Structure 1
Amino acid sequence: MRPALVVLGAAALLTASVAVPQASAAGRTSTSLAWYDATAETIAAAGASTQITNSRTWAISWLAAARATRSVPPGVERGAYQEAALAGAVHRALVTLVPSRAEQLDATYKETLDAIPDGPAEQRGVAAGEKQADLVLKSREGDGLDPASVNAPYPVKPAAPGVWQPTPPAYAPAAQYGNRLAKPFLLRTQSQFRLGPPPAVDSEHYAADLAEVRAYGAADSAVRSAHQTETATFWLGSSLTLYTEPLRVALSRADQGIAGQARLVALFHVALVDTQIATSDSKYAYERWRPVTAIRTGTIDPDPDWTPLHTTPAHPDYPSGHNTYAGAAQTVLSALVGPRIAPFDLTSPTAPGVTRTYTAWKQLSDENVDARVFSGIHTRSADEAGITLGTNVARYVLQNAGRLLAPR
């Protein structure tokens, strides 16, 4: 209970520090959402090939906005200043990181500034936002989160029980090996929250894990239900994509003013960058083989023809990256918005025509745990360990947010 109370205490301090008069919140909410949508559209249209690089773009842009809106100088109108500061920060960061979208971003920027009265509040807000963006961009130069660094070559170990090997059908080189060397935003080291080892391959625990994924994750499974297949397909895509809409729902309902909204988005993505770094640290510390390799070549009733429902990603099993992401997202949203929320609908690009409704962030995590088993690409132990790792990193980010958010 104590770590959870610490997180909630930190969240309470954050919320208290960003409260603004309710009468002036409506306009600032629309500004936050406009730039949230602009960020999402920028990354969807011209983002990097690696998820963590796009998480970095979110984190840099909105960390600059959170710092720029944190305090308002005396003598200027608060709302106008903060709107201009947020727009100045996110616009400057995005056009620097994704210059191919400058025309669209410039149009959104003009719309924002046209709606703000001309004068000192607007001018000083823009200047503050651009200054913070430049400082954050400078601080993240050479952080190892560019696609080439992220996918640094990985020397595959000789085949042995439990050791990761490239997986069918493409037998592609390992991905995300370089994440484990990248510079975190807040973690002291990449290995700060390294998990304990996965279940031994000769243990009863591992045998049970493998039996479950063999039965429920097979392409031709006779026991997986239609709903379970839908769950696997619904959560198949990029975690960044799948959590963009839930975070937007939280942002649209957060009664914290523009500074609180900027902090919500910033801390969400800072936590996710650091979580992905920690995920690769644990993945490549243990180099655990994937279920398809274990089932086809292992000693437990090997089946060389076994095929998972979905293609196995090209990196080790333990922990599940989808679930580290889910654990971090759940922790940040629960702390800063509350664990439950009024019902909201969610769709998925990998499950056309399917709409699911949620009332708690934990529901998304629970479905992620099941989904990767039903897809045949992770053991349950890897999924549950992922939730633990993401939760641990996000708690640390929330507890240490103050030293990250202070304007430079």
Structure 2
Amino acid sequence: MSPLRIRPVLVALGATALLTASVAVPRAAAADRTSTTLTWYDATAETIAAAGAPTQITNSRTWAVSWLAAARATRSVPAGVERGLYQEAALAAAVHRALVTLAPSRTQQLDATYKETLDAIPDGPAEERGVAAGERQADLVLTSREGDGLDPASVNAPYPPRPAAPGVWQPTPPAYAPAAQYGNRLAKPFVLTTRSQFRLGPPPALDTARYAADLAEVRTYGAVDSTARSTHQTETATFWLGSSLALYTEPVRVALSRTDQGIAGQAQLVALLHVALVDTQIATSDSKYAYERWRPVTAIRTGGIDPDPDWTPLHDTPAHPDYPSGHNTYSGAAETVLSALVGPRTAPFDLTSPTAPGVTRTYTRWKQLSDENVDARVFSGIHTRSADEAGITLGKNVAGYVLRNAGRLLASR
């Protein structure tokens, strides 16, 4: 068995080690083998970019299914075969099998990458048994996730909003689109025992000082014509505006490329991260639709605190309730997994954003990404700070639970 080492932050979460024993692998040999992991990480990202679903959680599911199969296939190596070669073949076979099933339009490209991987592995028992293990685990994971409710139609199951009332979510301008992502809360989690297992407590009541402060902050800093918001704050809002899945793909790749855990550990990192992200998104929609909290634009235009019917946010408001912020649940989960499995700090790395062309930001801690996400949604005018901070908490809670149950999740079937 070849585990990821659990860092002190995971111990603080009350987690036990994923595994209790490891096999020593010479550092140079491990480095030679792990390039296959990055090849298939990039192939997964390219597949989803080219043929992904319109719903983020569905794409997170594709990552989770593919890499959970790879993690299970590489975790144990049969006696009598070369470890690195077996794990290379197993990882490639697992991810390839899952991706061509979930994104058949990319079969030609994936087949070409798969051939390149196998051509680089000497023919023999290690390759043959690795391929068999990878394909078997992919088939098992795919079967276990059939009908899990994470297809786009199920994710966006119809949701009729309640009649307008103070605090109650209503469709928002300019599109006044129907509610999205309601179906997430009806989907089958990977690890959570129930969708509501980590449901948050309620948002601040409308007559509290915290609610008034939240609304005043968004009104001041999140307006399209705000004079209080600085250029850097506007840049922060725009930088983090896009899909969390897309924005976190490169930071995760940085972490993956810098870990010394070998192929099995790398596969586990990607698998646990994306399993946590799927379950976090399910838990997010559970809390969102349990409380149905109105968005700032509705509260500022029609609420009881100095209503301003012309107030407009910097960015258009997504079509689902305010509490908690989905971007921040995603950030909280990603921060927790990355901090636990590769450490909270890393050497500086640069990050760009498709929604902020020409802007490059540099980071050394995963928490910096979370902190910027909290601010960004306020500066965009689309979330209250309470919703953002609650999102971080929810993401951390779900990810911590996934990590504590990693041994059960990763056990070969």
Q: Normalized against structure 1, the TM-score is what?
A: 0.98
The structural deviation recorded for 1:24 is: 1.2
Question: Separation in 1 of the partners of 2:287 and 2:236?
Answer: 26
1:156 aligned onto 2:170: no
Q: How does 1:199-238 map to 2 (within 5 A)?
A: 199-238=204-243
C-alpha distance in 1 between matches for 2:346 and 2:157: 40
Query: What is the CA-CA distance between 1:22 and the residue it aligns to?
Result: 1.3
Distance 1:392 1:13 in 2: 18
SS at match of 1:275: helix
Q: Is the 8 A contact 2:161 2:170 kept in 1?
A: yes
In 1, Cα distance between equivalents of 2:144 and 2:24: 28
Q: Confirm whether residue 339 of structure 1 aligns to residue 339 of structure 2.
A: no
Amino acid at match of 2:97: R
Name the CA shift for 1:263/1:33 in 2 (closer, same or farther; >3 Å): same
Query: Does 2:246 correspond to 1:252?
Result: no
1:59 maps to 2:59: no
The answer to whether the Cα contact below 8 Å between 1:18 and 1:70 also exists between their aligned partners in 2 is no
1:185-233, CA deviations, whole angstroms, 9 ceiling, x for partnerless residues?
Answer: 0000000000000000111110000000000000000100000000000
Q: Which amino acid aligns with 2:245?
A: L
Q: Could you say which residue in structure 1 is the equivalent of 2:100? A: 95
Q: CA deviation at 1:18?
A: 7.1
AA at the equivalent of 2:174: P
Provide the residue aligned with 2:133 in structure 1. Answer: 128
Q: Deviation per CA, 1:103-150, whole angstroms, max 9, x where unpaired?
A: 000000000000000001000000000000000000000000000000
**SS state at 1:116 partner:** coil
Residues 1:329 and 2:368 aligned together: no
Describe the shift of the 1:19–1:218 C-alpha distance in structure 2 as closer, same or farther (beyond 3 A).
Answer: farther
Q: 1-side partners of 2:19 and 2:66: how far apart?
A: 19
Residue 170 (structure 1) aligned with residue 175 (structure 2): yes
* Alignment-derived partner of residue 289 in structure 1: 294
Give the letter for the 2:49 counterpart: A
What's the secondary structure of 2:350's corresponding residue?
strand
Match status 1:358 vs 2:363: yes
Letter in 2 for 1:121: A
In the alignment, which residue of structure 2 is the partner of 1:77? Answer: 82
The answer on whether the counterparts of 1:8 and 1:335 sit within 8 Å (CA) in structure 2 is no
Cα distance in 2, alignment partners of residues 28 and 303 from structure 1 = 60
Q: Is the 2:335–2:366 contact (alpha carbons within 8 Å) kept by the matching residues of 1?
A: yes
**Distance change in 2, residues 1:363/1:18 (3 Å):** farther
CA deviation profile, 1:88-115 (whole Å, cap 9, x unmatched):
0000000000000000000000000000
Name the CA distance, whole Å, in 1 between partners of 2:332 and 2:18.
22
Distance in 2 (alpha carbons) for counterparts of 1:391 and 1:7: 10
1:5 aligns with one of 6, 11, 15: 11
Q: Report the counterpart of residue 53 of structure 2 in structure 1.
A: 48
Amino acid at match of 1:391: K
- Deviation, 1:271, is 0.2
2:320 paired with 1:315: yes
Distance 1:9 1:154 in 2: 37
Task: Find the partner of 1:275 among 270, 280, 294.
Answer: 280
Task: Return the offset for 1:20.
Answer: 3.2
Report if aligned partners of 2:9, 2:340 keep a CA contact under 8 Å in 1: no
Q: Which runs of 5+ in 1 are unaligned?
A: none
Q: Distance in 1 between matches of 2:106 and 2:151?
A: 18
Whether the aligned pair in 1 keeps the contact of 2:202 and 2:291 (CA below 8 Å) is: yes
Give the 3 Å change call, closer, same or farther, for CA 276–130 of structure 1 in structure 2. Answer: same
SS of 2:75's equivalent?
coil
For the 8 Å contact 2:9–2:339, the answer to whether it is kept is: no
The DSSP-based 3-state class of the residue aligned with 1:395 is helix
Q: Is contact 1:49–1:147 with CA below 8 Å preserved after alignment?
A: yes
* 1:7 and 1:335 in contact (8 A); partners too: no
CA distance in structure 2 between the aligned counterparts of 1:19 and 1:321, rounded to whole angstroms? 40
Q: Is the 8 A contact 2:328 2:391 kept in 1?
A: yes
Query: Residue deviations 1:262-283, cap 9 Å, x none?
Result: 0000000000000000000000
Superposed displacement of residue 23, structure 1: 2.6
Distance change >3 Å, CA 167–CA 388, structure 1 → 2: same
Indicate the residue corresponding to 2:5 in structure 1.
Answer: none
The question of whether the paired residues in 1 share the 8 Å contact of 2:18 and 2:407 is answered with no
Answer yes or no: is 1:300 the counterpart of 2:309.
no
Q: What whole-Å deviation, never above 9, does each CA across 1:341-383 have from its counterpart, x for those lacking one?
A: 0000000000000000000000000000000000000000000
Count of aligned pairs: 406
1:113 is the counterpart of 2:133: no
Letter in 2 for 1:279: T
Pick one of 17, 25, 29 that aligns with 1:24.
Answer: 29
Aligned in 2, Cα 1:74/1:377: closer, same or farther, shift over 3 Å? same
Give the equivalent residue in structure 2 for 1:180: 185
Q: Tell me by how many angstroms 1:16 deviates.
A: 5.7
Determine the C-alpha separation between the residues in 2 that align with 1:139 and 1:19. Answer: 33
The answer (yes or no) to whether the contact 2:30–2:263 under 8 Å persists in 1 is: yes
Q: Secondary structure at the match of 1:158?
A: coil
**CA RMSD across the alignment:** 1.3
2:4 match: none
2:175 is matched by which residue type in structure 1?
Answer: A
Distance (Å, rounded) in 2 between the aligned partners of 1:14 and 1:308? 48
Query: Which residue number corresponds to residue 269 of structure 2?
Result: 264
Percent sequence identity is: 87
2:393 aligned partner: 388
2:382 to 360, 377, 387: 377
Q: Distance in 1 between matches of 2:349 and 2:21?
A: 26
> What is the aligned partner in structure 2 of residue 198 from structure 1?
203
CA contact (8 A) 2:15 2:403 kept: no
Q: CA deviation at 1:66?
A: 0.1
Distance in 1, matches of 2:30 and 2:43, equals: 20
Q: Which string of whole-angstrom CA distances, capped at 9 and with x for unpartnered residues, describes residues 22-44 of structure 1?
A: 13112221100000000000000
